[in-house]
């Protein structure tokens, strides 16, 4: 399937965006992303705007709706400001301030690692108690479907997809957390746990990935058996999804599965019991 562009949006949707945002030039495509949606930026007198939109009937439309709901309650400063969100003419549409910057390089030795870990350490303080009343409990996340509820109680708003492409480092060094499409309620350490296999995927040993994660106070204080349960559940989830999706997604899932297995065997071989 080809990715839709600005011109694929219905005239009424484009007219509403043009009316609300007063663009000063044409829409330009924005690269990246994993959902089959429109991703463009529009210039305006107040700076560029990032727009993402997806067909209401698409399998990912609920993620866009969840992202809109989460951004309506996110405190300022966590990610780019949501300017508009609406559903009309068969499309779910979100518009944010465009955040110029780069995705962090998570490879060993990168100078982006420390700022990312520091940002994750601060992330959940303003997100506790969970400001999103509709956020489902983390235990209902398909990743954890067989896990023990008792190990995953907490009242933070969780992102559940912290990876390099959902983080942007702005020119002033501030880190924006974007793509809140999978919000859940649970213990703050879970978001760091989602990052650990991403660090392994980026080339860290499991030992070094754990060392970075261990700088995050919530992760350091988490119960080791709960982290073990999470690592095992996430790896089983990737096993269950390994054969699904596009060839690119399958290739990514195969690498993620390897990273998960590396993490699980490291934890069972060390004192993380
Ligand atoms: N507010 C923003 N400002 C600048 N670039 C953005 C912004 N939001 C997203 N992007 C870019 O677009 C990409 C896709 O956006 P994202 O919200 O992650 O979509 P998807 O749901 O498809 O993963 C991001 O990885 C990032 O590079
Ligand atoms: Mg994304």
Q: How do residues 216-268 score in pLDDT, each as one tens digit?
A: 999 999 999 999 999 999 999 999 988 888 888 899 899 999 999 999 999 99
Is the pLDDT reported for residue 273 higher than 80? no
pLDDT of residue 271: 67
Q: Does the beta carbon of 163 sit less than 6 angstroms from any atom of ligand 1?
A: no
Q: What is the mean pLDDT of the chain?
A: 95
Ligand 1 binding pocket mutation candidate from 81, 168, 174 (most atoms within 8 A of CB)? 168
Is the pLDDT reported for residue 156 higher than 80? yes
CA of 251 to the centre of ligand 2 (A): 17
* Protein residue with least CA distance to atom 25, ligand 1: 165
- Window from 17-26, 48-57, 144-153, 218-227 with minimum mean pLDDT: 144-153
Domain ranges of the chain: 6-97, 101-269
Is the pLDDT reported for residue 80 higher than 70? yes
CATH of 6-97, one of 3.40.50.150, 3.40.50.460, 3.40.50.2020, 3.30.200.20: 3.30.200.20
Residue 90 zone, left/alpha/beta (φ > 0; ψ -120 to 50; rest): left
Atom number in ligand 1 closest to CA 80 = 1
Residues with CB under 5 A from ligand 2 (ion): 166, 179
pLDDT of residue 246: 82
Start-to-end CA span in the chain (Å): 45
pLDDT of residue 147: 85
- pLDDT band (50, 70, 90) for residue 48: very high
Rounded Cα gap, residues 176 and 157, in angstroms: 16
Exposure class string for 136-150: b at 16+ Cβ within 10 A, else e: eebbebebbeebeee
We find that the CATH architecture of domain 101-269 is Alpha-Beta Complex (3.90)
Atom number in ligand 1 closest to CA 165 = 25
- Average pLDDT over every residue of 87-105: 98
Judging by DSSP bridges, how do beta strands 156-158 and 91-97 pair with one another? unpaired
- pLDDT band (50, 70, 90) for residue 3: confident
């Amino acid at each position: 399937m080809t990715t839709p562009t600005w011109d694929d949006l219905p005239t009424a949707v484009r007219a509403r965006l043009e009316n609300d945002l007063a663009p000063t030039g044409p829409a330009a495509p924005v690269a990246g992303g994993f959902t089959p949606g429109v991703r463009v930026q529009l210039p305006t007198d107040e700076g560029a705007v990032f727009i993402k939109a997806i067909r209401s009937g698409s399998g990912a439309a609920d993620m866009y709706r969840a992202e809109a709901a989460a951004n309506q309650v996110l405190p300022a400063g966590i990610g780019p400001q949501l300017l508009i969100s609406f559903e009309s003419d068969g499309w779910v549409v979100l518009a944010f301030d465009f955040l110029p910057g780069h995705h962090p390089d998570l490879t060993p030795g990168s100078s982006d690692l420390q700022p990312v870990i520091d940002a994750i350490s601060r992330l959940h303080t303003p997100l506790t108690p969970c400001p999103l009343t509709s956020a489902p409990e983390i235990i209902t996340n398909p990743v954890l479907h067989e896990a023990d509820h008792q190990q995953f109680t907490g009242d933070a708003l969780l992102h559940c997809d912290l990876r390099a492409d959902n983080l942007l480092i702005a020119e002033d060094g501030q880190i924006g957390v974007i793509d809140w499409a999978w919000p859940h309620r649970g213990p703050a350490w879970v978001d760091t746990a989602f990052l650990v296999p991403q660090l392994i995927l980026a080339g860290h040993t499991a030992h070094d990935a754990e060392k970075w994660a261990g700088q995050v106070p919530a992760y350091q204080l988490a119960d080791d058996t709960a982290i073990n349960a999470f690592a095992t559940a996430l790896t089983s989830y990737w096993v269950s999804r390994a054969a699904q999706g596009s060839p690119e997604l399958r290739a990514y899932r195969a690498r993620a599965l390897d990273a998960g297995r590396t993490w699980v065997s490291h934890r069972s071989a060390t004192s993380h019991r």
